[in-house]
Structures are given as structure tokens and as C-alpha cells.
């Protein structure tokens, strides 16, 4: 495993893609202190000030495109394990790709594919604690929670160990353990949710996660629906 660190980069996912094209081995990790073009899903912006952790892992899993979804959950679970292990904080997951603390977003996962590799990107607010006005309320960083700075290098080290363990288990034995751990780390105390997809918004009750990591909801008219992407918000 090789960790490449940058003071500044456009996006660690883009750098990982460039490196994948050059044929670097699996588990090459790209880490940056800030990004100029950090992104989330659907082209959304990921605010990437200095002091945050921006990390991408290059993977070459022997899986078809349709089998990759659990990798998003895997990276989120590895991140939560890392935060809980290092800081004893009750970090949680929010389906499909958020890392949250006290209901606020602490980090996010963006898994992308291209012909050469699968790129798993993780953004985590570590020592950065300024966010744009419009997301300030829903956002948090480790520095705000802990009241002091943390060592991003240590977080990377533990994260990679956790992610590797989960990955090897997932490839050998499938996603059962991952899904179980996901449910354990997931705040399902408000199981009534809205799931918004680009096409439509549904309302219903979360039943569980399926074996591929899909969210299974009983929607208001009683039908069961499976989601592989979407935004989940609680219904009060």
C-alpha cells in the first residue's frame, strides 16, 4: 500500500483516476489537505478547506458494476469504525453515503468507477470548521466536537486498516456482516422517511437494508420499494 499526500489538489478522486490510468496497484491512497474541485454526488460541491481530510483509494475489485454498491456502505462503516476507535465518538451512518454526528454531517463517501478502477473517495471534516452559511447548520467537524485538533495522518492509517479488513471480508464472504454493522451504526429511531430521487419523492417506513445495500421501504400505499440511491430525510 502506498499513500500519496498532496498539500492541494483539484479532487483526490480525479488524481486517483489519473494514477489508475498509469496502472498503479490497488490500495494506492491519495490524500490531500485541501481540494479546489472537491465534489459530492450528482456534481454537487464538496467544501474542501485546508484542515479537512480528503482521501481516495484505488481499488480493482473482481466485481461487475451492479455489484459495487456495498463499497459505499463499506467505506462509510470503515470511517465510522475509525472515528469510534480513535475518538470514542458516537459517529453514525446515514444511508447511503453520509457520516453524521448528532444529526449533522461530518463526512461523505463518493464511489466512482472508470474503466481502470473503482475509486472510493472520503471527505471528513477534521480540523476545518468553517462552512458556507447555507450548510453551516447541518455540518460539523471533529475539531468542533472535540474542541481540539486531530492528526489526519493517524485517521488515514486507521481508516485504511479498517477498510482493508472489511474489503477482504466482503470479497470472500459477501455483504452480510457489512449490512449488519451498517444497521448497528445507523440511526433508525425515526424510521418514517422521505426518499427523494431525481424522478420522484416517496414517503414510507424503513424496513431494513437488503443484501446489496439497498434501502427497503414500505411506502405509504403499502408497496415495498427498493432504493439504490436517493436522499433520505426524516419525517417528523
Residues near ligand BT5 (CB under 6 A): 11-13, 35, 38-41, 44, 46-47, 54-56, 97-98, 105, 108-110, 121-123, 125, 135, 139
Task: State which residue, 169 or 196, has the beta carbon closest to ligand BT5.
Answer: 196
Q: Tell me the residue number closest to ligand BT5, measured at CB.
A: 108
- Any idea which residue has 422517511 for its cell? 193
54 or 170: whose CB is closer to ligand BT5? 54
Cα 213 → chain centroid: 13
HSE-up (13 A, CA, CB side) for residue 17: 12
Between 97 and 175, name the residue whose CB sits nearer to ligand BT5: 97
Q: Supply the minimum distance, in Å, between the C-beta of residue 87 and ligand BT5.
A: 17
State the minimum distance, in angstroms, from the CB of residue 231 to ligand BT5: 8
Output the smallest distance, CB 221 to ligand BT5, in A.
Answer: 28
List the beta strands (DSSP E) in 60-126: 92-94, 98-101, 104-113, 118-124
Q: In whole angstroms, how close is the CB of 23 to ligand BT5 at the nearest point?
A: 21
Distance, CA of 48 to CA of 124 (rounded, Å) = 9
Show the cell assigned to 176.
Answer: 452480510
Phi, psi of 97 (to 5 degrees): -140, 15
Amino acid at each position: 500500500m502506498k499513500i500519496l499526500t498532496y498539500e492541494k489538489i483539484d479532487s483526490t478522486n480525479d488524481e486517483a483516476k489519473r494514477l489508475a490510468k498509469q496502472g498503479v496497484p490497488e490500495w494506492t491512497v491519495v490524500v490531500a489537505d485541501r481540494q479546489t474541485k472537491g465534489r459530492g454526488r450528482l456534481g454537487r460541491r464538496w467544501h474542501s478547506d485546508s484542515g479537512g481530510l480528503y482521501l481516495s483509494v484505488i481499488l480493482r475489485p473482481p466485481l461487475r458494476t451492479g455489484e459495487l454498491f456495498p463499497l459505499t456502505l463499506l467505506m462509510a462503516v470503515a470511517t465510522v469504525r475509525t472515528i469510534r476507535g480513535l475518538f470514542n465518538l458516537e459517529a453514525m451512518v446515514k444511508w447511503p453515503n453520509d457520516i453524521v454526528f448528532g444529526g449533522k454531517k461530518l463526512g461523505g463517501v463518493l464511489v466512482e468507477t472508470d474503466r481502470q478502477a473503482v475509486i472510493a473517495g472520503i471527505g471528513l471534516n477534521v480540523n476545518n470548521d468553517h462552512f458556507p452559511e447555507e450548510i453551516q447548520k447541518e455540518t460539523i467537524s471533529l475539531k468542533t466536537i472535540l474542541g481540539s485538533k486531530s492528526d489526519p495522518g493517524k485517521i488515514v492509517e486507521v481508516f485504511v486498516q479498517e477498510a482493508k479488513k472489511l474489503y477482504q471480508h466482503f470479497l470472500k464472504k459477501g455483504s452480510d456482516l457489512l449490512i449488519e454493522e451498517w444497521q448497528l451504526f445507523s440511526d433508525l429511531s425515526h424510521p418514517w422517511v422521505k426518499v427523494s430521487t431525481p424522478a420522484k419523492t416517496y414517503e414510507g417506513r424503513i424496513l431494513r437494508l437488503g443484501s446489496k445495500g439497498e434501502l427497503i421501504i414500505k411506502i405509504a400505499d403499502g408497496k415495498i420499494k427498493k432504493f439504490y440511491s436517493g436522499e433520505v430525510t426524516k419525517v417528523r
